[in-house]
Amino acid sequence: MMARHAPRDRTGPGTVDAEPVAPADGWTQHERLVTRRVRSVFLVLVLVLLAVSLYSGYRVRLIDAEIKEFSLRVVPLQQLIGQLQRSVLEQRRIVRELVGADPPAGPQREAQVVSFEEASRTTHTQLGRALQLSELAVDDSPPAHEYERVDRLLRAFGVELEAYERAAAAWTAAAPGPEVSDPGAADALEQRADALGRRVDQVRLLFEVYAKSMAQRVEQLGGNARWLVGGVATGQLMLVLLLGAYLRYSINRIHRRQRQQEQRELRQRDELAHLSRVTTAGGLVAGLAHELNQPMQAIATRADAARLSLERHAADPAASRDTRDTRDPRLAGDLDAIAAQATRAGQIISRLRSFVARREPHRQPISVNTQVHATFALLRSAGRLDGVRLSARLEPGLAPVTADPIHLQQVLMNLIQNAVDAVTAAEGPDTRDPHVRVESQKLDGGRVELRVVDNGPPMADEQVEQIFQPFFTTKGDGLGVGLAISRSLVEAIGGTLHAAANPDQGMTFTVRLPVATGYPPPSGVASGRTDEPASPPTPPTAGVWL
Amino acid sequence: MNPAPPEPSPTVYVIGDDPAIRASLARLLEEVGTACVPYDNAIDFLRDFDADAPGPVCLVLDVRIPIMSGTDFHKALIGRGIGVPVILISGHGDIPMAVEALQRGAFDFIEKPFRSQHLLERVQQALDSDRRRRHLDAEHHSRQQRFDRLTPREREVLDRVVQGMTNRQIAEEFGVSSQAIDAHRTRVIAKLGVENVAQLIQIVLYHRGQSGPPAST
């Protein structure tokens, strides 16, 4: 990156110099501060969202565990208890029938006894499973105390069941035959059966209450879980959006930076071009001062002559009042000449001024031929041709190119000046007629070609490659940026600049420029219209020698 | 001597590339009654110029003129033995160029911008100078003619008179009488148109100073 040249012309139009000086990486202090702030805000937001998501996820897992617990243990336990009650009721019914007023006899009694034993076995099995479930649940479930109460009751039920079974066994032992009956044992058995029934009712009631509360809690937890899941999803969505926004911000930032970089480079190129023009103009100033002296001298001399004329007439006694007003037609000529010379001086100054003035480049459709004429005028008035014959062979009716006129003049000026220097620096028989010719021509494919041809010494190929490098110069004066700047100016408008040695003698520098958009390539189709809005009428011949 | 004919009017030649400058100078010079002939290049002037034409002339030369630069042209003038006074005008104000031009015999070197009065004065002085030069040339010419009328013996006598020898010494050297020498001397005085020996010595020394040492020493 090139160093900016600090002392700038503040009065020049269009100076863009408001921003603070950028450090080496191209970021201003302000930009860096904003970036840091945005980055920390993003970081905090991401951390908060991450924490909320993690916590919600943890809570959802707990709730899930509880719900699973409910469905895996509480529901089966409730079912088991219901079955237990039913089987106990079945046992009581059989016992009541057997010990009732009209007990069955014979095979009917046998069948009742068998079904009693079956019901008893079923009760045992179901109790075992219920105890298993309630025992397991005690270990790790959150509402452990509920399970403990259930477990205690189940164990009490188990004790009751054993007592009942003992009573049943006693009764059976006391009345081995169907016809025999021990009323005492029968009463004891019935009491036991009632106690067992009460006990199983207790378990069922308790567990029903518990199951209902559990169901409510599970329902509530399910609602919480939905909220939490929604929160987690929202958080994750926000996280994604946030990251997307940050990504977009970063990309925008990089794009902006690239744009700024490009603008800086453009500005630097314009500044360098301006600097180079100023250097060129510095070489022109001495010649232009002389050129400016010409009209000034003519004005002064004319004015003196007119004054002398007036004095002579005033002193002439023969001049009458009548003739005094029309005494000398030469006075009018003097005034005309003075006016014309003053205009000429103004034009010289404005030509130089427009070439040197620092301003924003303004691209517009322009005629290359017009710019060739303007450059010739500037060079001639600066007297920089040193006896070199300068001629032009311009093709009339060329389509305009889109370019800044001063930039195009600068390119032409550099190329012509370069050629003039080459032919004047050369010594030898070839320099008897030092000559530089500028040619313009239309090319196929909507392009226009400008050539600057000289008859100086040709360059070696490796030197041709070097001359477009910045700060390469073979001359004692000058920056050595003229050709580099010219190439960059030409390439900025989509053109090319090349140099090649001529087959016989000298060099040719060729500029190719695209025709301005909206102007068809002038190939016969555009015969009815004028393609050169800005150009003066060009002589119709192909070769115009100036 | 014949009475001098009425003097022909002076002419100023202006040579320069800038038509506005040429026209304004012509206008100024005509205003003060001096004929002015402008040329836009040196070649045309050299083709037209007649050095033998009567009347005082002077040249106003713009240094930067087409085809041949002003200083080159000045050199060419001197090379051709044209002794016209030349006033160089330059806009470059280049001291070495001015020194060189003056050393080469330019009448003056005027830097642009100049005052018209200054130029007119210098033109008048240059015309006077040319007038004097023409006068001196004419005098020199007639004097030369008078010297040419002397016989060889008279020249020998003249040389010795100028060297300060008396009549007797000269007579002894030539082996003739001093009366004969005296007669020679009287004839020499008559032929050269002077009145006495003092004037004779003056004119001889002046003439020799202008045309180099005499051939016979």
Report yes or no: B18 at the A interface, CB cutoff 8 Å: yes
Burial of A408 (0-12, 13-18, 19+ CB in 10 A): buried
Q: CA torsion A269→A272→A276→A282, rounded to 10°?
A: 140
**What 3-state DSSP class applies to A451?**
strand
Calculate how close chain B gets to A297, using CA atoms only, in Å: 6
Of the partner residues B20, B27, B113, the one whose CB lies closest to the CB of residue A341 = B20
DSSP B104: T
Which residues of chain A does B114 touch, with a Cβ-Cβ cutoff of 8 Å? 297
Report yes or no: B21 at the A interface, CB cutoff 8 Å: yes
Which residues of chain A does B119 touch, with a Cβ-Cβ cutoff of 8 Å? 301
**What 3-state DSSP class applies to A389?**
strand
Q: How confident is the model at residue A372 (pLDDT cuts 50, 70, 90)?
A: very high
Residues belonging to chain B:
217
Short-list A126, A303, A256, CA closest to A203: A126
HEC string of A225-236 equals HHHHHHHHHHHH
Residue-averaged pLDDT of chain B: 81
Mean pLDDT of A2-24: 43
- Taking only the tens place, the pLDDT of each residue in B136-177 is 888 888 888 888 888 888 888 888 888 888 888 888 888 888
Q: Do B27 and A341 touch (CB under 8 A)?
A: no
Q: CA torsion A84→A86→A90→A91, rounded to 10°?
A: 20
Tokens of A278: 């100023």
Distance CA B162, CA B204 (A): 8
**pLDDT for residue A3:** 41
Distance CA B113, CA B100 (A): 20
Which residues of chain B does A334 touch, with a Cβ-Cβ cutoff of 8 Å? 27
Which residues lie closer than 8 Å to A508 by C-beta, 6 or more apart? A451, A452, A453, A454, A499, A500, A501, A502
Q: How many CA atoms lie within 13 A of A518 on its CB side?
A: 8
Which residues lie closer than 8 Å to A421 by C-beta, 6 or more apart? A475
Which residues lie closer than 8 Å to A491 by C-beta, 6 or more apart? A497
Q: How confident is the model at residue A74 (pLDDT cuts 50, 70, 90)?
A: confident
Q: Beta partners for A217?
A: none
Tokens of A22: 């950028």
Distance CA A141, CA A7 (A): 82
Mean pLDDT of A353-376: 85
Which residues lie closer than 8 Å to A373 by C-beta, 6 or more apart? A392, A536
Cβ count within 10 A of residue A394: 23
Report yes or no: A297 at the B interface, CB cutoff 8 Å: yes
Does the structure show a pLDDT above 90 at A85?
no
A534 versus A135: which is more confidently predicted?
A135
Tokens of B204: 């001889």
> How many residue pairs bridge chain A and chain B with CB atoms within 8 Å of each other?
66
**What 3-state DSSP class applies to B141?**
helix
Which residues lie closer than 8 Å to A210 by C-beta, 6 or more apart? A74, A146, A149, A150
Q: Map out the domains of chain B with their CATH numbers.
A: 11-138 (3.40.50.2300), 150-209 (1.10.10.10)
**What 3-state DSSP class applies to A438?**
strand
Residues belonging to chain A:
546
- Which of A290, A301, A308, A309 should we substitute to test contact with B (largest number of B Cβ atoms within 10 Å)? A301
Tokens of B201: 């010595």
Does the structure show a pLDDT above 50 at B48?
yes
Report yes or no: A381 at the B interface, CB cutoff 8 Å: no
Residue-averaged pLDDT of chain A: 76
Angle ∠(A234,A238,A239) on CA atoms, nearest 5 = 115
Which residues of chain B does A308 touch, with a Cβ-Cβ cutoff of 8 Å? 28, 31-32
Question: A70-84, A141-155, B190-204: which range is least confident on average?
Answer: A141-155
Distance CA B133, CA A228 (A): 124
Which residues lie closer than 8 Å to A208 by C-beta, 6 or more apart? A78
A61 versus A539: which is more confidently predicted?
A61
Strand A435-443 to A447-454 pairing: antiparallel
Short-list A267, A263, A341, A264, CA closest to A301: A341
Q: Do B20 and A293 touch (CB under 8 A)?
A: no
Distance CA B90, CA B15 (A): 12
In chain B, the N- to C-terminal Cα span, in Å, equals 31
Report yes or no: A332 at the B interface, CB cutoff 8 Å: no
- Strands annotated E in B75-212: 86-90, 108-111
Q: How confident is the model at residue B122 (pLDDT cuts 50, 70, 90)?
A: very high
Q: Model pTM?
A: 0.52
Mean pLDDT of A279-284: 76
- Which range, A23-27, A39-43, A199-203, A357-361, has the best average confidence (pLDDT)? A39-43
Distance CA A228, CA B212 (A): 131
Tokens of B20: 């506005």
**pLDDT for residue A448:** 92
Strand order across the beta sheet in which A435-443 lies: A389-393, A435-443, A447-454, A507-514, A496-501
Mean pLDDT of A3-19: 42
- Put simply, the chain B residues between 156 and 185 with a CB less than 8 A from any chain A CB are none
**pLDDT for residue A4:** 41
Q: How confident is the model at residue A9 (pLDDT cuts 50, 70, 90)?
A: very low
Of the partner residues A286, A337, A383, the one whose CB lies closest to the CB of residue B24 = A337
Report yes or no: A298 at the B interface, CB cutoff 8 Å: yes
- Which of A290, A291, A293, A330 should we substitute to test contact with B (largest number of B Cβ atoms within 10 Å)? A293
Calculate how close chain B gets to A468, using CA atoms only, in Å: 34
Of the partner residues A286, A294, A305, the one whose CB lies closest to the CB of residue B20 = A294
**pLDDT for residue A321:** 53
Cα A182 to Cα A91, A100, A174, A177, A192: the distances in Å are 19, 12, 6, 11, 16
Q: CA torsion A124→A128→A129→A135, rounded to 10°?
A: 160
Short-list B80, B95, B97, B72, CA closest to B15: B72
Q: Do A308 and B28 touch (CB under 8 A)?
A: yes
B179 versus A136: which is more confidently predicted?
B179
- Taking only the tens place, the pLDDT of each residue in A184-223 is 667 777 777 788 788 788 878 877 887 788 788 778 877 8
Report yes or no: A368 and A401 within 8 Å, Cβ to Cβ: yes
Give the orientation angle of helix A75-99 with respect to helix A183-315, to 10 degrees: 160
Report how far Cα A120 is from the mean position of its chain's Cα atoms: 81
Distance CA B147, CA A199 (A): 183
Cα A111 to Cα A64, A91, A209: the distances in Å are 49, 13, 38
Of the partner residues A290, A309, A337, the one whose CB lies closest to the CB of residue B31 = A309
Which residues of chain B does A383 touch, with a Cβ-Cβ cutoff of 8 Å? 64
Strand A364-366 to A389-393 pairing: unpaired
- Strands annotated E in A372-478: 389-393, 401-403, 435-443, 447-454
Distance CA A298, CA A291 (A): 11
- Taking only the tens place, the pLDDT of each residue in A124-149 is 888 888 877 776 654 555 555 666 77
Q: Do A297 and B32 touch (CB under 8 A)?
A: no
Does the structure show a pLDDT above 70 at A302?
yes
Does the structure show a pLDDT above 90 at A338?
yes
Q: Do B24 and A301 touch (CB under 8 A)?
A: yes
Distance CA A193, CA A197 (A): 6
Which residues of chain A does B116 touch, with a Cβ-Cβ cutoff of 8 Å? 300-301, 304-305
**pLDDT for residue A26:** 59
Mean pLDDT of A403-421: 88
Report yes or no: B25 and B32 within 8 Å, Cβ to Cβ: no
Cβ count within 10 A of residue A369: 25
Report yes or no: A309 at the B interface, CB cutoff 8 Å: yes
Of the partner residues B31, B32, B113, the one whose CB lies closest to the CB of residue A293 = B113
Residues B198-216: b if buried by 16+ CB within 10 A, e if exposed: eebbebbeebeeeeeeeee
